[in-house]
Copies of this chain bind each other. A is one copy, B any other.
Amino acid sequence: MFSIGKLAGATGVKVPTIRYYEQIGLLAAPDRNSGNQRLYDDAARARLAFIRHARELGFPLEAIRELLGLSDDPARSCKQADAIAQRQLVQVEARIARLNALRAELERMVHQCAHGTIAECRVIEVLGNHALCTHEHAEPSLVQEEA
């Protein structure tokens, strides 16, 4: 049985984050010791490791909640789990494509700068005038949040 600190150390998830996961119902509330401190067992550790790993792979907490629900039912078809992972893959691919376009644009901007004054600065100029871009780039919404 571990304290929350030991659990944090064992999984690499910070203490407040563990409490947050409990608060949103992603992790069951564990038993407490006589002094009201949380005590975790190895099953909790495994579950938290699962969550952490899925987070590292960019799954949103809601998808992780679903995956955890599925993993509790071993006899079931894994169709849904596949679909979730597949969806995540598609999103990661879209983000990569998008970031590659941004990188190209930023590189062009930075390389064209002659390091003179603001008045001649290619960075400022390009930002002010989208027509100077080679590519269209998508709305910020597509760029938001992470994986």
Contacts and interface: CB of A to CB of B under 8 A. Distances in A.
Contacts of A107: 89
Contact of A124 (B70, B99, B105): B70
Given A56-B137, A89-B103, A127-B54, A79 B115 contact: yes
Interface string A34-58: 0000000000001001101111111
Interface size bucket, A side?
35 or more
Secondary structure type dominating chain A contacts:
helix
A124 B78 contact: yes
Given A74-B118, A96-B96, A56 B89 contact: no
Given A12-B139, A86-B110, A95-B99, A78 B116 contact: yes
A146 B52 CA distance: 20
A24 interface: no
Of A107, A137, A140, A145, most buried by chain B (CB within 10 Å of CB) is A140
Interface string A114-147: 0111111101101111100100011110011111
